[in-house]
Amino acid sequence: MGTVAAMSRSILIYANCQGEELQKTGRYMPCLAERFDFKWIPLHLVEDSHWTTQYGPDFMADVVMLWEQVETGADSPNRTALHQRLPPGCPVVKFPPLSATCLWPFAGNDPRRAVDPTRYPWPDSIAAALANRKLPDDELFEAYLRITTEKMPDLDRRLRMDVTRWKASDALSDVPMADWIERTFRSVNLFHTSGHITAPAIAHLMKQLLSRSAVLGGSLIGAASRETDALLARHCGQDYESVPIHPVVAERLDLRFYDPDATYRWHDHDWTFRQYILHYIRWSDYIG
């Protein structure tokens, strides 16, 4: 097959921001270069008009496979529009979105987000309640630790709720992830936030999708899986906003990867749990 013909084949990814990580990984694989391209439609950003402007017939013409992230509930109009535009007979592999809420049990309301939604997009309701307390750092952090420890919910129940959600998404998917996440999340950090994932999670999902993509052929699937591991071995995943985990959460969920002194990336900063909480309570500026 000539280069031009071979190049005109794309795997289309329809997913939230996790799809961008899959696309980037796919595009950097030497074994797939000049054979397959990866395209991504961000399902959380796509608008009705995009189906005639950005994702029209030219965009869809070379799609030979769809990796489709599932959502519970009825199909959205965008998902229906996607299916209507796929080339006839295009194979589809469905996969779940990855998320974990049990690791950040105080996610809730913070009224400051109503006027400033992007400064700290991952709300903490206890920190929000301390926003007006004029205390020195040590006292403020101690107050946060005391209140959160007193109000810590039943984390085993929270985990069971997450597992139930993971299994519900698995039931709609060709790629099961629930068992793997449940088996792995204590020993390997899989989540930077409730919806942003680390490199090990991206790698596992990518390899599961590759292994179900017959359009690649057996030898390419093996090579692409090995290259996935190599490309993501040192990678940090979606870490530009990484929300630290509460030490009591780590203890009660037996997170073996947890390091109480670890720093977490927040834009151009590396903050410990204490630093993050103090900056969050004070809704402070940061660089990046």
Assess 254 for contact with other proteins (CB under 8 A). no
Kindly report the number of other CB atoms within 10 A of residue 108's CB atom. 13
Query: To the nearest whole angstrom, how small is the minimum distance from the Cβ of residue 244 to other proteins?
Result: 11
The nearer residue to other proteins, 25 or 69, going by C-beta atoms, is 25
The nearer residue to other proteins, 20 or 182, going by C-beta atoms, is 20
Query: To the nearest whole angstrom, how small is the minimum distance from the Cβ of residue 169 to other proteins?
Result: 26
Assess 25 for contact with other proteins (CB under 8 A). yes
What CA–CA distance (Å, rounded) separates 100 from 12? 26
Assess 28 for contact with other proteins (CB under 8 A). yes
Assess 210 for contact with other proteins (CB under 8 A). no
149, 136 in Cβ contact below 8 A? no
What CA–CA distance (Å, rounded) separates 230 from 189? 18
What CA–CA distance (Å, rounded) separates 38 from 276? 36
Q: End-to-end distance of the chain based on CA atoms, in angstroms? A: 46
The nearer residue to other proteins, 50 or 235, going by C-beta atoms, is 235
Applying CB under 8 A, the site for other proteins has a residue count of 27
Residue 216 per-residue DSSP state? G
HEC profile for 173-211?
A: CCCCCHHHHHHHCCCCCCECCCCCECHHHHHHHHHHHHH
The nearer residue to other proteins, 30 or 121, going by C-beta atoms, is 30
The interaxial angle of helices 273-281 and 137-151, nearest 10 deg, is 100
Assess 270 for contact with other proteins (CB under 8 A). yes
* Residue 246: closest CA among 272, 279, 269: 272
Per-residue binding letters, 29-68, with other proteins (x by CB under 8 A): -x--------------------------------------
The nearer residue to other proteins, 61 or 135, going by C-beta atoms, is 135
What CA–CA distance (Å, rounded) separates 32 from 153? 47
Considering only the stretches 72-80, 174-182, 254-262, 278-286, report the one whose residues sit in contact with other proteins under the rule CB under 8 A. 278-286
Assess 97 for contact with other proteins (CB under 8 A). no
The nearer residue to other proteins, 158 or 204, going by C-beta atoms, is 204
Amino acid at 239: D
Cβ neighbours of residue 201 under 8 Å, at least 6 residues apart? 98, 181, 190, 191, 237
Assess 135 for contact with other proteins (CB under 8 A). no
16 alpha-carbon distance from chain centroid: 8
220-249: which residues touch other proteins (CB under 8 A)? 227, 230-232, 234-237, 239
The nearer residue to other proteins, 184 or 263, going by C-beta atoms, is 263
Amino acid at 267: H
The nearer residue to other proteins, 23 or 69, going by C-beta atoms, is 23
Assess 85 for contact with other proteins (CB under 8 A). no
Query: Given the rule CB under 8 A, which residues bind other proteins?
Result: 24-25, 28, 30, 227, 230-232, 234-237, 239, 263, 265-266, 268-272, 275, 279, 284-287
